Structures are given as structure tokens and as C-alpha cells.
Structure 1
Amino acid sequence: MPTAWLVVFVLAVSAIGYIAGRRRALNSAGGDSRALHSLPVYYGFNVALSALVPSLLVLAVWLLAQPMLVENRVSGMIPAEAIPESSTLGLVMSDVRRVAEGLDIAVQQGALSEQEARAIRADVTDVRARLGDLGVALGSDVRSEVLSAAQRYRQITATGHLLMTLVVAALTLGGLGFAYARTNKDFRARNVVERGVLALLILAASLAILTTIGIVLSMLFETVNFFRLHSWTDFFFGSTWAPNFRGDSELSILPLLWGTLYISFIALLVAVPVGLFAAVYLSEYAHGHVRAFAKPLLEILAGIPTIVYGLFALLTVGPALVRVFGRGSEGLLGVDWMSGATSVLTAGVVMGIMLIPFVSSLSDDIINAVPQAMRDGSLGLGATRSETIRQVVLPAALPGIVGAILLAASRAIGETMIVVMGAGAIAKFSLNPLESMTTITTRIVSQLTGDTDFASPETLVAFALGITLFVLTLGLNVLALYIVRKYREQYE
């Protein structure tokens, strides 16, 4: 049974359980709902949730765990001599999955019967040709070991799917039967349902925490593997980023960290003054109809995809900066400081434009939250409007404004597409904002692009870069929390 149909089956049984549980409760009370301990709907929900929740939880866990278990089981079938020198076990397993998928497609389209797919031992070249006709491309020469592993992969997957269907169906029907048998007029259905819903709410609230823990642990384990293969002193204290996949790479984070912080700093130099001044104008000076028009128009910037900003940097801002700072006598300044459209300044300016709504919108809401009585008291003492804004409103709103700025900083540090298209891909130390540089996020994408096998430091370094970036943004959040708490006590 396909997984989608299995979900439909579980939902249908749960709906039937709701109706049956409600009806059984009323029948046990002689049709008088006043004789029931709980409202009739609680009895229906008790049966429905007993059939629905355990089965869906098991289904979700099974779908996540089965691919990993199958891959671990099948990868042991491939001998070391079956792995070409130019390939890795991960790439061979990619071919195993593609062959297995190709056999599935062939069976579904009638090109092969299920018996033929299991017993095929034809020439491997013929197998490649037949799968190629079905649109299945293979990355390397398919050997007989790969074909056997693919058949075993299909067999284990099919067996696991059958067991999953049986277990989920049994849990669904068993839960329905158990809850239905307990249903009577004296059963405390409301208490059971409310405890069950509370458990689901706790689980939902825990998902963010569990996801964060899972992300950190996954990066941490791979980072440990990286430092087993590469010196941590070179990573944290080296001065060169030069991966070459030949075992003699120099993988220092410092040039990438410098580029990340430099570009983010320029972006904040653009975003913070413009965004903060826009927030002050909209909240303190603008008329209602101007604010109603200008604020949504400003917030449109936050909805533009970052790839569009990248194109804007590459095609508009970069060439404009070259016309000012580059091409010798052809430039407006008559200098030759900028040789190409990609530079730190290009990416920083465009990223700053992207960050303006993050600063302006949040700062505007925070400034508006300052009590009007503070403004009236300042004006009543003879202060002008500008003095009130500088000495009363902005200090009172400072914690929230700092939080908005640090949120924008975190967004700038994690940006990728604008850097790829606007700043270039050169990792180096330089104070010149007209030169090309790169950032941590760009290198993470580069190191994990394509068919990768997590067995070389050049690939595993992406996880070390990721966890370093995580620690950096976490530090920004802790700093923001400290500042907010300090000034909140002062102005509350």
C-alpha cells in the first residue's frame, strides 16, 4: 500500500472511530447525554485520537529511520575492490539507489516484471542501456556488485514498507478497538482527551528545541570527524583557505570569517542609519495617510527573494561602482581601484538595502510602543519634538532597537546568494572594500555541492564552518539579551 493511501486509511479509521465512540457513549447512557461524565464529543475524540496519534507517530519515525537502516545494510554488500579509484562508497551507493529506482520505474511501466527485476543477471551494459531509455542516468560504470546491491536494496525496502503498513494498520485498529471497548457513560473521556492534547501541545512546543539540538549534534559529530583528519590549529589560526581535495589543503576559517564580518559591517552601515531614520520619521513625524502608504511599501523590500538582490548587485550596483572607482581614465574619479563588478562594497550595499525593512519595521513598532505619557511629559517641560525623540523616546526604545539591529546582523551573517553574486569567491585578508572576498556561508555551499562523500576534510570542513557560524550568531543573541535586560530595568 502506498504511504499516501496508508495515511488516508488511518484518517478514515479515526473518523469512523469518532462516530462509533460518540454513539457508544450515548447508547450506554440510554440516549441521555446528561448521564455521561463528559460531553459526547470527548468520547468520540478519545477513540479517534487513540487510533490516529500512535499510528502516525510510528509512521513518521519509520519513514525517517528505514532509509538509513537500509543504506547501512546494503553498503556492506559492496566490496572494496568494487569501488573505483576515482570514486567513493558514497558515489557507488548513489548508483545503487539510482539502479533500484530504475528497476522500480521499469516494473511500474511494464518494461520488466517483478520476477525479472529480482532475477536479472544480464550484461551490465545492457542494464545501463535499458535504464537509460527510462531516463535513469548513472554516475559511473555499473558493475555486477552494484546491480546485486540494487536488487537487495529494493527487496529490503519493499519488505520494510510491507512491515510498516502492517504495523501502522495494526496500531490503528488496535487503538480504535481498545478505546472503543473502554467507552461507557462513566468513563472520564474529557480528562483523557485533555491530557492527550496537552501531551501533543508539549510535543509541538518541543519540536523547535529538539530540532535545534538535532542540528547542533549533527554538525558537532561531523566536526569531530573533521578535526580527526585536519589540524584544529590550522583551522582556527591559519591564514589561508585553499581546499584542493588532494590531501594537502589549507583550511583556515579566518579569511572567511574576515570576509563575513567585513561585508556584514558594511551592510549594517547602510541599513541601520537608513532604517532607524525611516522608523523615526514614520512613527513621530509622518501623517497617518503617509505612514499607511510608506510603511507597507518599505516592507516590500523584505519580500524580495535574495537571488533578485544578487542579480541587482551583479548587473546594476557592481557596474555602477566600476564606473566610479575603476577603468582608469574612463572612471568618474579617474582611478583604477576596482577591476570587476564583484567586491565587498557591492555585496555590502545591496545587503544593506535588503536589511532596511528588518531595522525600520521592528524599530517603528518598538518606538510606537513607548508610552505617550513620556512624550507628553517631555513636551510639557518645554522640550522640542526633536529633543523629546533624542532624549526620551530613543533611550526608552533602545533595547528593542538593539535587538532589531542584532537581528539584522544575524541575517547579514547568514546571507549567501548576494555574496555569491556580488562579492565573489576569493578568501583573503584585505581592508580594501573594492576587492572580491567571500564568506562562511558561501564556502559551506561550495564544499557540499554535488555528489559528496563525507570522508575527506575538504567536505567535512563545511560542518566545522557551520557550527562556528552557529556559535557566532548565538553570541549575538546572548549579547542582545544582555543589553535588553540591562536597559529594560532602567526604563521600566
Structure 2
Amino acid sequence: MPVLWIVLIVLTLGGVGFVIGRMRAMASADGDPRHLHSLPNYYGTHVFLAVTVPSMLLLVMWLLVQPLVINSQVSSLIPQEAVSEGSSLGLMMADVRRVADGLDTAVAAGAMTSEEASQIRTEFTDIRERLGAVGVALGSDVRPEVLKAAQRYRELSGRYGLIMAVVIIGIALAGMAFAWSRSHAEFRARNVVESAIKSLLILASSIAILTTVGIVLSLIFNTIEFFKLYPAANFFFEPTWLPSFGGGTDSDGNPLSKLGILPLLWGTLYISVIALLVAVPIGLFAAIYLSEYAGPATRAFAKPMIEVLAGIPTIVYGLFALLTVGPLLVDVFGAGGLLNVSWMQGGTAVMTAGLVMGIMLIPFVSSLSDDIINAVPQAMRDGSLGLGATKSETIKQVVLPAALPGIVGAILLAASRAIGETMIVVLGAGAAARLSMNPFDAMTTVTAKIVSQLTGDADFASPEALVAFALGMTLFLVTLGLNIFALYIVRKYREQYE
């Protein structure tokens, strides 16, 4: 049974439980809610939570564990000698899952029956052609052991899916019966419901924290694997980025790949600084005007128009950089251009990406700073004006210092957004990894190289692929340092103005 149907059935049972739980509580109080310990809706909510929460938690855990169980059972069907050189059992299992999904698609499309999908053989049928007819593209012909494993995968998925549906619905019905039996006038439904909601909030917070921990640990473990294969000193201090996907070492035992992060880190910081130099003044001045000078009509029109910039996809910004801003800068700073200088050789450059990224970041700085400035108490403005200060003096000496912690947070958000941007960099700054002070040279960033290192058939046993995790870990540490610095600034000025 599809997961969506299971969720709908559980929610329907929860809605029914809410109604019958409330009705039973009212019946036990002879229809007078004053005789109930809690409001009637609490009794219905108690039944609803008893139906949905345990069953949904079990459903999530089942969906996480089931693929692992099936993979462990199916992978034993693939003999070690069937794993070709340059491949791995994990890659073959990916092919197994792809073929299994293709068979399901073919059955759903009516191209073959379920029984035929379970009995089909590569000796008599071109599996790749049959699945391609229903829109399932496979990179190579299906080998017999892969097909056999895929058929077993489908069988186990269907069996476990049926068991999952029975168990989940059974848990929901059991929860409904238990909670319904407790729905009487003396039952403290409000206390139970509030405790359950508090537990759900704690669970949500824990999931967010554990997700962060999981991301960091995955980066750490893969970074450690990378440094086992590639010297850490070369990674941090090598001024050259020149990966060789063939791997190997030279006559001195040094790796042929040059995976120094310095040019990537320099390009990241250079482009981010230019973007912030564009976004912070424009965004902050726009926020000051909208919050302190603009009338209601102007503000109602201008603020949504500025925030529209935040909704434009980054690929559109990248195309704007490639097709408009880059050629425009060449016409000004290129050979034979308006200034008749030869500073810029092509449209892809640090300046191109920095300017466009700065435009993209304007709404981040403007909108957040505007809300923060508006949150400064009006009494502070009135007191300053009452002492004889002008409006501009009040803004400079009272409003902005009071709003500074929030403004720093807005700038930090813009900086983090700039450091993590990829598409604008790829299309606007180019792919050259170099150390240069010239803002009109093409450069690249850490995020762009993370994408390029993991594009295609990446061998995760090679340093050329694992370096992406080391790059990600370095970027994480840089962002963490920015957060710590911003937190220090925020606390310092908050203590001063509170």
C-alpha cells in the first residue's frame, strides 16, 4: 500500500477519534461541559494524538529502517565475482534499485503484469528496451544477477510494505480504543494533551539538532578519509588547484593531483566581499529610508518590490551575469572599451559575480534591517527629538546603535548566503582557480568546486572525490567563525543599549 494512503487513513482515523472522544466525554458528563475536568476539545485532541503520533513515528522509523533491511538481504544475492573492476557493491545496489523501480513503473503503466515482472529473464528479453519503452532510462544492459536481485527487492518491498500498512493501521486503531476508553469526565485530558504537545516540540527541536550533528559528523568522517589519502599540509598550503582524476603519484611519491584550497578560499572571500560591498550599503540605506522617511504609500509599494529580488532563482541571476553584466563590464574595462584599458579579458570575472551576487543579497539586508529598525521603541526616537536632536542625528546616534545587533545578524545572513552561492559563481566568475588581486580576473569558489568534484561517476575511494567533503568542512568552519564573531558583536552592543 502506498505511504500516502497509509497517512490519509491514519489522519482519517484521527479525525474520527477526535469526534468520538469528544462525544464520549460529553456523554459521561450528561452533556454539561461544566462537569468535565477539561474542555471537550481536549478529550477529542487526546484521542487524535493517541491515534496519529505513535503510528506516524513508527511509520517514519519503518521507512528509515526498511531500505537498510532490504539492502542487506538483497546484497547477499550478488556474488563477489559479479562486482566488476572499477565498481562496487554499493553501485550495483543502486542499479538494482533502479531496475526494481523500473519494473514497478512498467507494471503501473500496464506494459507488463506483476507476475511477468517477477519471472522475466535477461536471456529471453531485452530488459533495457522494455523499461525504456515506459520512460525508464538505464545506462547499460541489465545483467542477470542485477535482475534477480531487483526482482527480490520488489518482492521484499511489497511484502514489508503490506506488513507496514497492517501494523501502522493496527497501532492507530489500538491508540484510538485506548484513548477513547479514558475519555470520561474525571480524566485530566488537558494535562495529557499539553504534555504531549510539549514532547512533540522537544522532539522537533531534537530533530533539528541531531540533523546538524549528523551533517557535521558526515563531513568529519569523510574529511578524515580524505586526509588519509592526501597530505593535510598540501591541502591547506598548496597554492595550486589542479585535480588529476587519474590519481597516482610522481617519481618523488607526491600525488599528481594538486588540491590546494588557497585559490578556492581566496576566490570565495573575494567574491563575497565585493557582494557585501554592494549589498550592505544599498540594503541598509534602503531600510533606513523605508523605516524612517518613506510614507505609508511609498513603503507599501517599495518594500514588496525590493523583496521580489529574493524570489528570483539564482540560475536567473547567473544568466543575467553571463549575458548582461559580464559583456557590459567588458565594454567598459576591456580592451577597446569605454575606458580604453585592458583590465578585463572576458565576461566571467570576480567583479561580474560579485556585482550580481550583491544585487541578489540586497533584499536580505534591506528587509531584515527594516524590520529590526522598526522594532526600536518609538520612545527612544521621541526622547532624542525632544532633547533637540535632528532626525538624521537621531537615526545615527540612537536608532542605528540600538538596532545594531540585529543589523549585524542581517549582514551575517547575507555573508553566509554569499559564501554558499554556486550558480552565480559558475556562470559569472568562471572556473579558474587562481590567486590574483585583480577583480577582473576569472576565479572560482569552494562551492563551485564541490559541485565539479562530485559531478559524474565520482569514485568515493579517491582523494579527488573525497576532497569535496574537506572543502565543505572548511567552509563550515569559516561560516562558524563568522557566527561566533557576530554573536560577540551582538552581545556586546545588546548589553550596552538594553
Asked if these proteins are the same fold (TM beyond 0.5), I'd say: yes
1:84 counterpart residue number: 84
Q: Which residue is equivalent to 2:179?
A: 179
User: Which residue number in structure 2 is paired with residue 272 of structure 1?
Assistant: 280
Contact 2:46–2:179, Cα closer than 8 Å, also in 1:
yes
Answer whether contact 1:82 1:143 (CA < 8 A) is retained: no
CA contact (8 A) 2:37 2:186 kept: yes
Q: Aligned ranges for residues 90-489 of structure 1 at < 5 Å?
A: 90-123=90-123, 126-247=126-247, 248-326=256-334, 328=335, 330-379=336-385, 383-489=389-495
Deviation at 1:386, TM superposition (A): 3.9
CA gap of 1:296–1:117, structure 2 versus 1, over 3 A, is: closer
Partners of 1:239 and 1:73 in 2: how far apart?
Answer: 48
Residues 98 and 137 in structure 1, CA contact (< 8 A), matched pair in contact too: no
Mapped partners of 1:463, 1:72: distance in 2 = 27
- How far off is 1:67 after superposition? 2.2
Contact kept, 8 Å, 1:91 with 1:451, in 2: the verdict is no
Instruction: Name the aligned partner's letter for residue 394 of structure 1.
Output: L
Is the 2:127–2:141 Cα contact (8 Å) retained in structure 1? no
How far apart in 1 are the matches of 2:369 and 2:42?
46
Change (3 A) 1:251 1:73: farther
Change (3 A) 1:319 1:7: same
Q: CA-to-partner distance for each residue in 1:253-309, whole Å, 9 max, x for gaps? A: 221111100000111111222222333333344444434433332232222221221
Cα distance in 1 for partners of 2:377, 2:215 equals: 41
Q: Runs in 1 of length 4+ with deviation above 6 angstroms? A: none
TM-superposed CA distance for 1:430, in Å, is: 1.0
Counterpart of 1:302, as a letter, is A
Give how far 1:404 is off.
Answer: 2.1
Please tell me whether the aligned partners of residues 274 and 358 of structure 2 are also in contact (alpha carbons under 8 angstroms): yes
Does the CA contact (< 8 Å) of 1:124 and 1:142 recur in 2? no
Please tell me whether the aligned partners of residues 122 and 147 of structure 2 are also in contact (alpha carbons under 8 angstroms): no
| Contact 2:364 2:414 survives alignment (8 Å) | yes
Q: Which amino acid aligns with 1:194?
A: E
Tell me which residue corresponds to 1:490.
496
Counterpart-to-counterpart distance in 2, 1:262 and 1:406: 16
Q: Aligned-pair distance for 1:470?
A: 1.8
TM superposition shift of 1:226? 2.5
Q: Deviations over 1:100-121 (max 9, x none)?
A: 1222233334443333322333
- Structure 2's unaligned 5+ residue stretches are 248-255
Q: Which amino acid aligns with 2:199?
A: A
Q: Distance in 2 between matches of 1:370 and 1:47?
A: 45
Q: Following TM superposition, by how much is the alpha carbon of 1:89 offset from its aligned partner in structure 2, in angstroms?
A: 3.6
| Post-superposition CA distance 1:66-121 (Å, at most 9, x none) | 22332344334333432333544443223212211222233334443333322333
User: Which residue is 2:51 aligned to?
Assistant: 51
How far the C-alpha of 1:484 sits from its partner, in A, is 1.2
Letter in 2 for 1:280: I
Residues 182-191 or 349-358, more deviating: 182-191
Matched-pair contact (CA < 8 Å) for 1:90–1:453: no
Q: CA deviation at 1:374?
A: 4.4
- Distance between the aligned counterparts of 1:286 and 1:190, measured in 2? 48
Cα distance change of structure 1 residues 341 and 21 upon mapping to structure 2, 3 Å threshold: same
Cα distance in 2 for partners of 1:184, 1:461 equals: 62
Instruction: List per-residue Cα deviations over 1:365-419 (Å, max 9, x = no partner).
Output: 3334444454455555555444444344433333332222222111111111111
Higher deviation after alignment, 413-422 or 2-11: 2-11
TM-score (norm 1): 0.91
Aligned to 2:126, the other structure's residue is in SS state: helix
- Shift of the alpha carbon at 1:323? 1.0
Structure 1, residues 15-60: CA drift from partner, whole Å, max 9, x if none? 2222332333334444444433333332222222211110011111
Kept in 1, the 8 Å contact 2:364–2:410? The answer is: yes
Tell me how far apart the structure 1 counterparts of residues 395 and 187 of structure 2 sit (CA, whole Å): 63
Q: Secondary structure at the match of 1:98?
A: helix
Q: Point out the more displaced range, 367-376 or 273-282.
A: 367-376
CA contact 1:95–1:139 (8 Å) conserved in 2? no
Amino acid at match of 1:62: W
Decide whether the 8 Å contact of 1:318 with 1:422 is kept in 2. Answer: yes
Deviation at 1:336, TM superposition (A): 2.3
Q: Relative to structure 1, is the Cα distance of residues 79 and 242 closer, same or farther in structure 2, using a 3 angstrom cutoff? A: farther
Give the TM-score, by structure 2 length. Answer: 0.90
Report if the CA contact (8 A) 1:323-1:331 is conserved.
yes
Aligned length: 490
State the SS of the aligned residue for 2:439. Answer: coil
Greater shift, 310-319 or 390-399, is seen at: 390-399
1:412-462 per-position Cα deviation (integer Å, ceiling 9, x unaligned): 111111111100111121111111111111122222234545333222222
In structure 2, C-alpha distance between the alignment counterparts of 1:188 and 1:301, rounded to whole Å: 51
**Offset of 1:124 from its aligned partner?**
6.8
- Unaligned runs of 5+ residues in structure 1 are none
- Give 1:479's aligned amino acid: F
In 2, are the aligned partners of 1:219 and 1:467 still within 8 Å (CA)? yes
SS at match of 1:340: coil
